[in-house]
Amino acid sequence: MPEETFKVWIDRWGLTPDGAPFASLGGRLLPVRQDGVAAMLKISHAPEEIAGGTLMAWWGGQGAAPVLGHDGEALLMVRAQGPISLAEMARSDQDDEASRIICAALDDLHAPRAGKLPATLRPLPDWFAQLRPAAQRHGGVLAKAYDMSRQLLADPREVCVLHGDAHHGNFLDFGELGWLAIDPKGLIGDRGYDYANLLCNPDLATAVTPGRIARQVQVVAQAANLEPVRTLQWLLAYAGLSASWTLSDGDNPAGALQIAEIAAAELGL
């Protein structure tokens, strides 16, 4: 992404650069200030990232970082400056509290909003499209995950707008504003889906610590008012989906498959 692209938005929104640009998987970002307010300018190039920017604006700062400007590929949002990391909390003796913080933020994101839904939202069944061919090709726990996904997607409950990538790194410390989300995928479907990814995080070593998934399923289910068994079912389906994405990228899906195996064992499958 040429730096000239940043300049267009710097001029339009009256921004002052406040750090070096850096890359993410979906685009480039530049710390800036607008009228003294610390902000982040993100220029996306992936369709799902652009859709995520639309959703961020629609959330209106309720559960997500406040948006100061949005136009197509460009998103300007308030910058998180708090010192606390949910990932570090989860790796220490505050794992339960980190999960509860994410659940509370998701409650805000899932709350109904007035007005028309963003046209860019993707239905959850479409999001699972890659799991079926992966299960047919590889079988094993991927077949169990696919069967579970079919069951869950055929019986959606509490359908709402979903973040779609709710892990510890996507909920940041905004100081007085609290813990707010960034980088959504922009999905719509069963509310339970949004809690599966946090059970796979903040990293594989933490997630597969003996007994950790069973405990966090109980913590999350209580905090989010979910059924523990259905939470495990979504975890199995999501871990299978994650493995199918990894396979399609030509990478090793061992981590996601390990989590899927744990979830299947907890379900007695």
Task: Provide the annotated active-site residues.
Answer: 165
Q: Are 242 and 256 in contact (CB under 8 A)?
A: yes
**Hey, CA dihedral for 87, 89, 93, 94, is it positive or negative?**
negative
Helix axes of 95-110 and 212-224: crossing angle, nearest 10 degrees: 40
Whole-angstrom Cα Rg for the chain: 19
| Tokens representing residue 191 in the block | 């509310």
Which H helix or E strand runs over 138? Answer: helix 131-138
Q: CA 229 to CA 246: how far, in whole Å?
A: 26
Beta 171-173 vs 122-123: how paired, if at all? unpaired
Residues 6+ apart with CB under 8 A from 92: none
For residue 185, report the phi and psi dihedrals to the nearest 5 degrees.
-90, -30
Which H helix or E strand runs over 180? Answer: strand 179-181
